[in-house]
Amino acid sequence: MNIKCVCIALVALTGGFYACDSKKETDAFDPKVTELLSQMTLEEKAGQLNFVVGDLFTTGPDGKPKAPDYLDEAIKKGEVTGIFNIYGAEYTQTLQKKAVEESRLGIPLLIGADIIHGLKTIMPIPLAEAASWDLEAIELGSRVAARESAAAGINLTFAPMVDISRDARWGRNAEGAGEDTYLGSLIAAARVRGFQGSDLSLANTIAACVKHFAAYGAAEAGRDYNTVDMSDIALRETYLPPFKAAIDAGAASIMTSFNELNGVPASGNEYLLQDILRKEWGFEGLVISDWQSISEMMFHGYSKDSIEATIQGINAGTELDMMADLYLSFLPQLVREGKVSEAVLDRAVGHILQLKVDLGLFDNPYLYSDPAVEAKEIRSAENLEAAFEIARRSIVLLKNEKQTLPVKSTVKRIAVIGPLGDNQADMNGTWSFFAEALHPISFLEGIKAYAGPGVEVTYAQGCNLYDNSTEHFAAARAAAQRADLVILAIGESAVMNGEGASRSDITLPGIQQELVNQIAAVGKPTVALVSSGRALALTELEAKVDAILATWTLGSQAGKAVASVLFGEYNPAGKLPVTFPRSVGQVPIYYNHKNTGRPFEGDFSSQKLEDRVYRSRYRDVDNSPLYPFGYGLSYTTFEYSQPVLNQTSLTDDSPITVTVKVSNTGDRDGEEVVQLYTRDLIGSLTRPVKELKGFQKIHLKAGESRDISFELKASDLAFWRADGTYGYEPGDFKLMIGGNSRDTQEAVFSIPNP
């Protein structure tokens, strides 16, 4: 294979840094791959590009799980490269044996799965983990998921999902790292490191598949699979960097997205798959389609029939056909007719075979299918402990009036009320098909365990998750009446977020707010545990309760993690990775927006003449969010000094060091995420009002103060400029440091003209 990789010269003419370095010239395939390619028929090559779901369950439309007989035959005939969404050491061993011993070329199988946040030990959903701002914990979460999956025969996960989304209506927020490109990029890399470890061929690491390329999170109106139309600048600045970060971290594969981007479906999009992915970024791994996304190009109105979809898909660079069955059916003939070049086919097959080599499958097809390791690894004490630790780090304290939390020792009767209070299955969350519904620790169980024998803990369901029945209200009110403290467990169920789970109303579902109102009227101190896979509009709830914990969906150890925070064993330190709006009408709302020519920061009810009409504002709600990006309280308090800069002029050779004194002014030890933001005041293209540029998660003892320093380089201020180049521009900047994106201390600096 000798495919030239041309590096597009995105050369900045003035100072700044360059987007592109020179990449490897060829796909350097292993000799094993080259040898196999020389032996394969066109049918066998097409078979290596065919990826089918297993016989367990299905994760897409028109899908019935494949029948075991079908899989059997397809494997023997070399008509599938692998099977996904199956697991089990023994089962996968049987399948590998069939492939290796009974197909003509004996090529082992790729066994893929949607291991989004764990196989059997379920970690918090990715959005929750992002709220920990703890890259080590996040990497460990993926590591545990990889260990369990690898032991169960899986060698490829369809994760991490790195789609940035600024629209809380989109259900797949749950699977990503939130709204911010900088945080999202660091998390993307951490997850890849977690899944892949240092060596893909080890028995306890699996290949990552970064998805969905690209801009899937920007679906219009937050409706899943919907159209995306955006400027190239927005694409490059906001949506692409997490993919680049994952690839730089070594991600072995990438998945195309369902959406069209500026009129071209992602699976047929040469600009994305060739110009950016291969040529600019030099990606040498495998490109996988999403479920039937190649055939869906017909519905998009881009391909007139299956043949055209096949040609457009493979030529654009979509290499593995997931469930459309087009490549297997049409590619051999299309190559014979000269409509698809064999070199294109070989390159795609080369990438898949190379991945199998890298995974060590040719050396040992049973590497990932060891029943003894599986028995030891699945839900080991170590894995469960990791899930617990990560879960409590993911919890965000949004409100804590009258120091309602942590639970005081004077509290002797607790009423847990709400549809998620005594609920295990929903704790697993979206994308947890492999997990057992009855494994997670419920909130009730966790609270009982931490409350101890001297405290009476009762439970009342109050209402169902979705419907409007009020039949259980009276019992819930009675339970609240008897209690010293009410803990409301409310929010979204697992299926209310994830794929195909967009919501137009992001307040509490069903009759839950009415339940809150009824319980609040009883007048007892009330804490709300809010489960969700997205930012919710919690304005009404906020007005009614004393304390709120965002508990997302926390996985196997949910109840224990929540109780650990409620009872003060762990001092919460999570920070929001998404902006919580006041109302759904503000969506999309995100912290790093532009300023507009008529900015408005006042109160919506202001009647001052200068505020009244000609301002970028709503008449019925403030512009500001209910809880800003980066926000989260602690049981202690932190104070920030004015930032001190070692110099106020920033050049290529001389970064700025900014130092701020952070003090724990409360009476408990605690952790704080110190966040650094900048604003480029004037640009050749306008810049956001704030951009996250760094953060440090620190631990301070009660009363302790510490100087925290960040280094800011000129290249940190680079952006896609008006002339299409990437780099910084001279001028004046603002720097902001604080414990969230709203409450910050400021300083100024500048980049001088060259």
Contact footprint for ligand NOJ (CB under 6 A): 59-60, 114, 158, 211, 290-291, 499
CA angle centred on 635, ends 569 and 440, rounded to 5°: 45
Residue 208, helix vs strand vs coil: strand
Half-sphere exposure of residue 725, counting CA atoms within 13 Å on the CB side? 15
Catalytic pick from 55, 114, 163, 290?
A: 290
**Alpha carbon distance 120, 533 (integer Å):** 20
Q: How far apart are CA 95 and CA 87, in angstroms?
A: 11
Least distance from C-beta 159 to ligand NOJ, angstroms? 8
Tokens coding 655? 């970064």
Q: How far is the CB of 751 from ligand NOJ (least distance, A)?
A: 41
User: Which 3 state secondary structure label does DSSP give 243?
Assistant: helix
Minimum CB–partner distance for residue 156 and ligand NOJ (Å): 10
Q: Which is nearer to ligand NOJ, 158 or 368 (CB)?
A: 158
Gap between the Cα atoms of 392 and 396, Å rounded:
9
Which residue number, 291 or 552, has a Cβ lying nearer to ligand NOJ?
291
Query: Cβ(421)–Cβ(459) under 8 Å?
Result: yes
Q: In the complex, what is the shortest distance from the CB of residue 322 to ligand NOJ, in angstroms, rounded to a whole number?
A: 7
User: What type of residue sits at position 726?
Assistant: Y
If residue 256 lies in a helix (H) or strand (E), which one and from where to where? strand 253-256
Q: What is the DSSP string of 491-505?
A: E--GGGSSTT---S-
Whether the Cβ atoms of residue 154 and residue 359 lie closer than 8 Å to each other: no
What string of DSSP letters covers 541-590? HHHH-SEEEE----GGGHHHHHHHHHTTSS------SSPBPSSGGG-S--
Q: Is the dihedral of CA 606, 607, 610, 614 positive or negative?
A: positive
Q: Quick one: angle between helices 241-248 and 181-196, nearest 10? A: 30
- Tell me, yes or no, if 325 is annotated catalytic: no
Pick 266 or 515: Cβ nearer ligand NOJ:
266
Nearest approach in angstroms of CB 58 to ligand NOJ is: 8
Taking the C-alpha atoms of residue 323 and residue 313, their distance in angstroms, rounded to an integer, is: 13
Between 150 and 208, whose beta carbon lies closer to ligand NOJ?
A: 208
Q: What does the block give as tokens for 432?
A: 């947890």
Min dist CB 498 to ligand NOJ, Å, is: 9
Q: How far apart are CA 156 and CA 146, in angstroms?
A: 9
Q: Name the E strands within 604-743.
A: 638-640, 644-645, 656-664, 670-680, 691-700, 705-712, 719-720, 726-727, 731-738
Q: How far is the CB of 158 from ligand NOJ (least distance, A)?
A: 3
Nearer to ligand NOJ, 187 or 541 (CB): 187
Beta bridge partners of 708: 660
CA–CA distance, 295 with 306 (Å, rounded to integer): 6
C-alpha atoms less than 13 angstroms from C-alpha of 301 in its C-beta half-sphere: 2
DSSP, residue by residue, 455-515: SEEEEE--S-SSS---TTHHHHHHHHHH-SEEEEEEE--GGGSSTT---S--SS-TTHHHH
- Nearest to ligand NOJ of 174, 563 (CB atom): 174
- Closest contact distance (angstroms) between CB of 114 and ligand NOJ is 5
Pick 146 or 660: Cβ nearer ligand NOJ: 146
Q: How far is the CB of 221 from ligand NOJ (least distance, A)?
A: 18
**Cβ closer to ligand NOJ: 162 or 662?**
162
CA distance 654 to 666: 37
Closer CB to ligand NOJ, 324 or 335, in the complex: 324
- Specify the residue, 212 or 477, whose C-beta has the smaller distance to ligand NOJ: 212
Which of 85, 518 has the CB closer to ligand NOJ?
85
Distance of alpha carbon 71 from alpha carbon 49, whole angstroms: 15
Side chain identity at residue 519, one-letter code: I
In the complex with ligand NOJ, the residue whose CB is nearer, 295 or 725, is: 295
CA dist 64 → 61, 293, 295 (Å): 8, 17, 17
Structure tokens, 482: 């008897």
Q: How far is the CB of 146 from ligand NOJ (least distance, A)?
A: 16
Least distance (Å) from ligand NOJ to the CB of residue 92? 17
Helix (H) or strand (E) holding 516: helix 512-522
Q: How many CB atoms within 10 Å of residue 453?
A: 6
Q: At closest approach, how far in Å is the CB of 319 from ligand NOJ?
A: 15
For residue 353, give the H/E element and its range.
Answer: helix 342-358
Catalytic residues: 290
